[in-house]
Every structure is written in C-alpha cells, then in structure tokens.
Amino acid sequence: MKFNFLSENEKVNFINKASTLVEALPYIREHAGKTIVIKYGGHAMINQNLSKSFSQDIGLLKAIGINPVIVHGGGPQIEKELKKNKLDTRFLNGLRITDKKSLKIVKKVLSKELNLKIASEIKKTGGKPIGLSGHLNNLIIANKIKIPKTFNLKKIDIGFVGVPVKLDKKIIINRIKNGYIPVISPLGTDEEKNVYNINADTVAGFVASSLKANKLLLLTDVSGVMNKKNKLITSLKLNKARKILKKDYITGGMKPKIETCINAIQNGVSEATILDGRVSHSLILELFTEHGIGTQIYK
C-alpha cells in the first residue's frame, strides 16, 4: 500500500501509530532483559476479548526481550465449579475456606483447566508458555495459614489454605533462560505433601520478591487505588502507601493488594503497580506509555 494513496484520515492514523511506537522506545529499552511478574485474574481472565488482548500483550513483551512471569487466579471459575458440585463457599477474612472436597475442585480448576487454557492462548500469539503448578515438584513450599487470635474462632478450621514460605526459583529461572513464559497456578505443598490453596496476589508478590523482579503488576477489576474523593491515585511512595492502609476508604480486597506491593518492594522488587485489567491492552499502556495506568507504588 502506497502512503500517497491513503486518505487524510488514514494518514493521520498511521502517523499516530508511528508516534506511539517512538514513544514506547525508551520504555522498551528500560524493561528489556528484565523480569516482570504479572498477577492475572478477575474480569481480564473471564472476558474473551480482554483475555485475548492480555495474551497478545504477553507475546509482545517476550518478543521484545522482556521476561514475563504470570501467576493466575481463578476465583469465579472455582465458585462456578463448587456450585455445580453443590458445595458451599465460605470466606474468612477474604480467604476461601477450603476443605478436602473443595480442594479437589480448586486443584482441578487451577492447575489443569485454567493453567492449560492460559498457556494455550499465549501460544496462539507466538509465545512459548509453560504451565507450572505451585504444588508440583516442590515449586512452592507453603504452610497452613494461621488465623489471628483476635478472631477467636477456635471451632472454625480454614482448611487447606496456605501462605508461601519457599520458592524453588531455579525452576522458573531455567524456564526463562530457555525462552519460556512461566504460567504459575497459586498452589503450594508442605513437607507432609499437603496441598494448599493460596491467594494469587500473595503468590505473585512472593514470586516477584524471590526473583527480585523489576516490576510487579497486579491486574484488578478497579482503576487502581482511589482516594477519599474516589479519584485515582496514580503514584504512591512506599511510606505513603503504608499510611494509606490505615484509611477507612481503603476497603475490600484493595488493602491486601497494597500490602502485597509493599512487601514486594521491601523484598527487592523495584516497582509495583495495581492496574485495571478491564482495560484492553492494559499491560502495554502501563509499561510503554508516558502516563501509564493504575497506581504505581515505589520507594
């Protein structure tokens, strides 16, 4: 196609695309060769168009020399399967109480169905994904999570819900060196081979810290951290992020996400961003544009 034969509108469109590529160049150089850990879940994983754009973003990151590592969730899909099997869902402090019957379903949905699906979608973009489940090959060693004494819930057993304590990072590093894109299910195992369901945000932060990743990205179903006027906070220094945790307008699942970012930065991750996974190509917008999207937390 000859440029001179294009309409004026088409010319403007192509020029804008070229300008976007030029704008992205310094950010590509900044992230090239670096490891970025991405928590993938929520609406971005359910909506077909968004899941396609996510996979395209991951394929592009790898193609330009960035090393993405994906940790995926699966709450809605687990919920659906539990209902199908007539199993009740109960939560304690935001964590799904997981008995033996529930754990069997959690394992199936996370390590078999979703992990394979995500890897398959990335492969379509030309990427080279490899599925890894945290409870296999001692990838993630976990302990059963302890219920705070303040809850005074002696009769309630949270079941097989864990917290990661050790990562065999060599498994991930070797896969990256061989050109793979690790896709990790948030499960872990203890020394007695008990399997635990682990919060995906927690696993993503733990993996990012262990790998000393350049960046941690948490995809959510909101725009980012909002202030008391419900306006997006685009950036937070670490000390301000600690203070904002105490504010009463930080509610629901946002508090543990901020805590995950803080812990990751304290343990060697350069930056962490909570961003809106409902936006198409949110990873590209965050990493390669001047303003980015979401809330960035940094030292």
- The pLDDT of residue 253 is 82
Q: What is the pLDDT of residue 90?
A: 83
The ranges assigned to domains in the chain are 32-298
Strands 187-189 and 215-220: what pairing? unpaired
Predicted pLDDT of residue 281: 92
pLDDT attached to residue 154: 57
Give the pLDDT confidence score for residue 188 in this predicted structure: 98
Rounded to 10 deg, the angle between the 115-123 and 48-63 helix axes is 60
What pLDDT does residue 30 have?
87
pLDDT along the chain (299 residues), means of 10: 61 65 83 96 89 95 96 92 89 83 95 96 95 97 79 70 96 97 98 95 97 96 91 94 91 88 96 94 90 88
For residues 162 and 134, is the Cβ–Cβ distance under 8 A? no
Q: Does the pTM of the predicted model rise above 0.75? A: yes
Q: Strand runs (DSSP E) across 16-135, as ranges?
A: 35-40, 67-72, 91-92, 95-96, 129-133
CATH for 32-298? 3.40.1160.10
- Reading the block at residue 255, the tokens are 């508090």
Q: How far is it, in rounded angstroms, from Cα 112 to Cα 106?
A: 10
